[in-house]
Amino acid sequence: MSSAQGTERKPKATRNQYGETLLELGRERSDIVALDADLSGSTKTGKFAKEFPERFFNMGVAEQDMIGTAAGLAVTGKVPFASTFAVFETGRAWDQIRLVICYSNTNVKLVATHGGITVGEDGASHQALEDIALMRALPNMTVIVPADATETNSVIRAVADYKGPVYVRLGRSNVPYTMPDDYQFRIGRAHVFHTGKDANIIAAGIMVDAAKKASELLATEGFDAGVINMSTIKPLDEETLLNAAKTGKVIITAEEHSIIGGLGGAVCEFLAENHPVPVRRIGINDSFGCSGGAAELLQLHGLTAENIAEAVKTSLKNAQ
Amino acid sequence: MSVMTKGKVTDVEELKKIAKSVRIRILHMLTTAGSGHTGGSLSAADVAVAIYFSKMKFNPKDPSWKDRDRFILSKGHAAPLQYSIMAEAGYFPEDTTQTLRTTESPLQGHPCCKRLPGIEVSTGSLGQGLSVANGMALGLRLDRNPARVYCIMGDGEIQEGQIWEAAMTAAHYKIDNLCAVVDCNGLQIDGPVAKVMNIEPVVDKWEAFGWNVIDIDGHNMEQIVGALDKAEGIKGKPTVIIANTTKGKGVSFFENKVEYHGVAPSLEELEKAVKEIDNE
């Protein structure tokens, strides 16, 4: 375990890292272009826009047009990164994503920020809790949820090299560094912090750090709970998941998304058909969010390390 | 067929002959398939033929040739029109046209770019082609590639809000390597466009959005070619050709019949229709 690495650094929002990595990519590659729908200050594509105005297209508040324009740019050999808030990117332009990106298999990178409940004070209208489900249902789409800034940097570089449609979900709020400093993301490859003999927590996004803390809490009580960062939600790392299901007695999924159709859904679909074990999904329980501070909302919706630890213990008890 | 170059077919009479052949093939394809969109394929035929054969550079043997002009059929239900043109141009063998709308066919019910090289991006869900055309035009401009982009929309289609998002974009970014066409045949599935959801004044709308607008008879080949020529010369703004057309054009008993939006000709109708087009 190398969980201690990087913890001295100040927490950083994954969207901030995206802005920096995209800018670096822009300097390295002339085929990288970026689009935004009037949120470049928030999504951090603004950094790229400032240095490469001719390769940046602000589409105004018009997400559907942004997706179509991105697909057209991709057809001429560009590698477009199209960004806005996750709720608008996936919800307002779903049919466009389906037709001109997924069905047409165009090389567009959808990098959405402000995913999940930690959007905070803006409230439910701006909190994407269904975006992963929407994107995961589309053929040809790869879905990635990085856990921290380190992973975001690696993910953005990986998807720029990958040919095909990708959805990357980032967050608004600062999150602690949780991945090892030397971590290299690979599409479809989960990161195993360790595999537990009692339970295994499959997490994504900001819940990876919470899962690690839950595992530490459980260790003090004598439970061995493994932690796996399943940052690629599609395609799922089935081998790693299967191994975890066979090693421990129960599986807990943890995500900042509805328990319907996201990471928990994907894990359940796979395990039900291949190696049925008890699964408990931690996430938003089929509801909308509300205004509040990020930490406060995580507590309100039961998305803390303590909640995960409690779920592990309950699941183990029920499994006996 | 070798590389088609700009101005390959300049003779209007020759273009008219090609349009006849394209229409007849459309009807054969639809009758064999037993379903498909007859009216809108015939209404846009003259404009599409003029774009492909008098204007566009392309190479049927190398459909992804980087200097090709691009074409997007935003009104994807008129797929038989694009397929008929592509068969005429030599993109695929003539007998492929008999596979329209079947499981293994490259000729899906609506254009599918993964099945048929020469289709830039799949269409069929309305309102999306103009955005894609803008993106291609911007990409070509970044590469300083002089190729041009053509996009045909339906008049019912421009009820989609995304069209107007894209209309703003094209004007905002001064996309002048794009020529759009609205095939105004006046009918949509549920009836006359004016009754279902009025789009008039069409010319004023596009002008208000910052476009150069050319209003023509979409079945007059001289006017079509003239408009396409003019569009090429306009700098600093996008051009849209408002092509006033007749749904089902060329076959008297299909013309202006709303019920032939999505119905294929029967064998009997096919025979009569081909005779009419031949004798025109």
Catalytic residue among A63, A89, A151, A255: A63
Contact A75 B114 (CB under 8 A): no
Provide the percentage of residues in chain B whose pLDDT is more than 90: 94
CA-nearest residue of chain B to A140? Answer: B114
Contact predicate B182/B243, CB 8 Å:
yes
What is the domain partition of chain B in residue ranges? 12-279
> Tens-digit pLDDT profile for chain A (320 aa)?
444 454 579 999 999 999 999 999 999 999 999 999 999 999 999 999 999 999 999 999 999 999 999 999 999 999 999 999 999 999 999 999 999 999 999 999 999 999 999 999 999 999 999 999 999 999 999 999 999 999 999 999 999 999 999 999 999 999 999 999 999 999 999 999 999 999 999 999 999 999 999 999 999 999 999 999 999 999 999 999 999 999 999 999 999 999 999 999 999 999 999 999 999 999 999 999 999 999 999 999 999 999 999 999 999 999 98
Query: Does domain A12-175 correspond to CATH entry 3.40.50.970?
Result: yes
Alpha carbons B8 and B58: distance in angstroms, whole number = 11
- What count of CB pairs under 8 Å joins A to B? 112
Q: Please name the helix (run of DSSP H) or strand (run of DSSP E) that holds residue A279, with its range, or none.
A: strand A279-284
Among A314-318, B7-11, B101-105, the least confident range: B7-11
Alpha carbons B137 and A57: distance in angstroms, whole number = 13
Find the DSSP H helices in chain A: 14-28, 40-43, 46-51, 63-75, 86-91, 94-96, 131-136, 149-161, 207-220, 238-247, 263-274, 294-300, 305-319
Q: From the list A64, A71, A95, which residue is nearest B121 (CB)?
A: A71
Comparing A12-175 with A191-319, is the CATH topology the same?
A: yes
Is A63 a residue of the active site?
A: yes
Structure tokens, B169: 């974009």
- ipTM entry: 0.96
Place of tokens 């082609």: B129
Cβ-defined contacts of B60-64 (< 8 Å, 24+): B60/B1, B60/B4, B60/B86, B60/B89, B60/B90, B60/B91, B60/B118, B61/B1, B61/B90, B63/B91, B63/B117, B63/B118, B64/B117
B124 and chain A: CB distance < 8 Å anywhere? yes
ω into residue A235 within 30 of 0, thus cis? Answer: yes
* Architecture of the CATH domain B12-279: 3-Layer(aba) Sandwich (3.40)
CB neighbourhood size of B199 (10 A): 18
What is the domain partition of chain A in residue ranges? 12-175, 191-319
The highest-level CATH class for domain A191-319 is alpha beta
Q: From the list A55, A64, A72, which residue is nearest B162 (CB)?
A: A64
Q: Which residues of A193-221 are buried (b: 16+ CB within 10 A; e: fewer)?
A: bebbebbbbbbbbbbbbbbbbbbebbeee
Contact predicate B174/A64, CB 8 Å:
no
Nearest C-alpha neighbor of A143 from the set A180, A184, A90, A181: A90
Contact B168 A76 (CB under 8 A): no
CA B73 → CA A74, A317, B78, distances in Å?
A: 18, 60, 8
Contact predicate A100/B128, CB 8 Å:
yes
Nearest C-alpha neighbor of A58 from the set A94, A84, A79: A84
Contact B142 A55 (CB under 8 A): yes
pLDDT category of residue B153 using cuts at 50, 70 and 90: very high
Alpha carbons A12 and A175: distance in angstroms, whole number = 5
Contact predicate B88/B165, CB 8 Å:
no
Q: CB-hemisphere CA count at 13 Å for A66?
A: 32
Cα A98-A104-A106 angle, rounded to 5 deg: 100
Q: Which residues of B touch A66 (CB under 8 A)?
A: 131
pLDDT of residue B2: 43
Alpha carbons A299 and A296: distance in angstroms, whole number = 5
Give me the numbers of helices (H) and strands (E) for chain B, helices first please. Answer: 10, 7
Structure tokens, B111: 């254009």
Burial class for A310, CB neighbours closer than 10 Å (0-12, 13-18, 19+): middle
